[in-house]
A and B are shown apart, each in its own frame.
Chain A
């Protein structure tokens, strides 16, 4: 199966953030943008979260180029640090399929 490039954008007003998938940490640039590769058809997971004062928000968006499509729910991922907490985190299982497969 071919490797597919997945683009990701992580915007947040929190103090710290993390983002990884099953093959490693995803490095982001100053604008919170980055990319990683997954094998088409294979399941992968995105692990993401932030630390900051309550009310801090996060938004994580994934994208792939045609002819591929993402199979993911609850996307874009939105998160917020709850009242009285300093951290928020979640995960998403997803995979990339070729359109028509």
Chain B
């Protein structure tokens, strides 16, 4: 017995669908001539105007400071992890992480908000007392970090090309509108050239599928003690600050992050020791070590470019950084081969890349080539 051809199948399905609220042949023809492209175009334009969502707009920041001299490239404290989202339009949260207590305010409604503005204040967290003191009668805490970030994310859908191709195929083959979508089994039964169905779905996105940009700023006050040249103990609390601008281009199979960071930080001087005799003892001394002199002000302007992509069973995140003040380059090539499920309880969880081999080269005073095995915070997308 000969297999029925595709047109006959489509006709039979159209008859069946007519008893199930589906479009008649006339309705179908009218749909493709008048509505198919315009509906898709309008849905795409809605996103272009109103945006989509933004993930973390930050460069990978795991460290191997001794080997790769990356420390100078980082903010005093990372400003990228600002605020834990709660479930209100503007949420307020508090907690502790990395030895610091924090208060944060964010307008994120969930983890996928298209515009994010967040501020965060943190102070050292006293584990023994279970508290972090932001202010007391003596004034605002001496060691305090204030950070703020804002970001925006826009999808770049190519709905015109997608609509043209999808509507053309469906109209030509008289497919009922509700069966006109890339994964449709009705389309699968048609003699569409190999790869075209995959191309169809890919056409929905432009070469750059989405773009994101953000600004991060941070000011940190820290009390620093030191000896002056008369061996007297002094302290100061000048404010370190950093400002970063981030741009992300999300391609169909890779993400490119560009980041420019300007910062002013303070580097403590070499330590000196002052000893004084202990009363009622024979020749015993009590000694104290502190930096000799006020911390040295260090300014920096660093540009970074990073590409993040998965290549089958591994992922790479090559990064080039340039320090304008030191006029030196750093090139990093982390190759991720170790991963864990992003959600350990879910069977279908995507991979979260956490470790592998890192190759690096730094020019200037730190001119060296290095290789290291690393385990880090998960690779960010």
A residues with a Cβ closer than 8 A to B are 13-18, 20-25, 28-32, 43-47, 49, 51-57, 69, 71-74, 80-81, 83-95, 97, 101
Contact = CB atoms under 8 A, between A and B. Distances in A.
B110 A45 contact: no
A43 B31 contact: yes
A57 B47 CA distance: 21
A52 B180 CA distance: 26
A86 B250 CA distance: 8
Contacts of B210: 16, 51, 87
B50 interface: yes
A54 B310 contact: yes
14 contacts: A13-B343, A16-B55, A18-B155, A18-B157, A29-B110, A43-B177, A49-B204, A51-B210, A51-B381, A53-B310, A72-B178, A83-B312, A85-B253, A87-B205
Interface residues of B, number: 66
Interface of B: 20-22, 31, 35-36, 38-40, 42-44, 46-47, 49-55, 85-87, 109-110, 112, 153, 155, 157, 159, 162, 166, 177-184, 201, 204-205, 209-210, 250-255, 309-312, 342-343, 346, 348-353, 381
A27 B181 CA distance: 23
B351 to A, nearest CB: 6
B52 A17 contact: yes
A24 B46 contact: yes
Contacts of B42: 22-23
Given A13-B342, A16-B53, A28-B110, A86 B253 contact: yes
A90 B348 contact: no
A80 B348 CA distance: 10
Given A49-B205, A93-B181, A94-B178, 17 more contacts: A13-B348, A16-B54, A20-B47, A23-B46, A28-B110, A52-B55, A72-B178, A86-B251, A86-B381, A87-B210, A88-B201, A90-B204, A91-B43, A91-B204, A92-B181, A93-B36, A95-B178
A62 to B, nearest CB: 12
B43 A20 contact: yes
Contacts of B20: 71
Contact of A86 (B157, B180, B255): B255
Contacts of B353: 53
Q: Which of A44, A46, A47, A83 has the largest count of B CB atoms less than 10 A from its CB?
A: A47
Contacts of A32: 110
Contacts of A55: 348-351
A84 B310 contact: yes
Contacts of A18: 47, 52-53, 155, 157
A53 B352 CA distance: 8
A17 B53 contact: yes
Q: Which of B49, B181, B309 has the largest count of A CB atoms less than 10 A from its CB?
A: B181
